[in-house]
Structure 1
Amino acid sequence: MTEGLKTIGAHISEDPELILGKTAWVIIGYIAIGIALIGGIAFGLLTYRKKRNAASYSNI
């Protein structure tokens, strides 16, 4: 872990824009994966409930 932090520190001192760019894309990637997972689970639950009691969800 400390080695990784040292290399990150060395990279930041060399080229901060490159590291910030990579970090931003990694964060965006994690956010996108999170949204996709949450959305998929929510959609799955909704469709599952719609199939179980279609009468109560008919107005959606």
Structure 2
Amino acid sequence: MDAPVDQLHLTDDVALAVRANVAVITTLSAQIAIVEKRLQENVAHTRTAPSLLQYPALDKRLRP
């Protein structure tokens, strides 16, 4: 993770901020993948799924 940031030749403070943002994005992406998998496995096949499909962000994740 550090090598690409180092290639940008940023000041130390900016590089630190970029690394922190990359870490947050990486963590959030992993957690979103876990939630999406859980939705697909446990919610997509329930009675409440049709009402959840009205939300565009959930729609594409709940449809098989």
TM class, shorter-length? 0.5 to 0.7
Which residue of structure 2 lines up, in the alignment, with residue 46 of structure 1?
Answer: 39
Higher relative contact order (CA 8 A, sep 6+): 2
Let me know the Cα RMSD of the aligned residues.
1.8
The aligned residue for residue 29 of structure 2 is: 36
Which consecutive aligned stretches of 4+ in structure 1 deviate over 4 angstroms post-superposition?
Answer: none
The structure whose Rg is larger is: 1
Could you state the TM-score of these two structures normalised by the residue count of structure 1? 0.59
Cα-to-partner distance string for 1:3-50 (whole Å, 9 max, x where unaligned)? xxxxxxxxxxxxxx7110110010000000011011110111011113
Unaligned runs of 5+ in 1: 1-16
Shift of 1:52: 4.5
Task: Give the CA deviation at 1:56.
Answer: 3.6
Per the normalisation by structure 2, the TM-score is 0.56
- Say which structure is richer in helix: 1
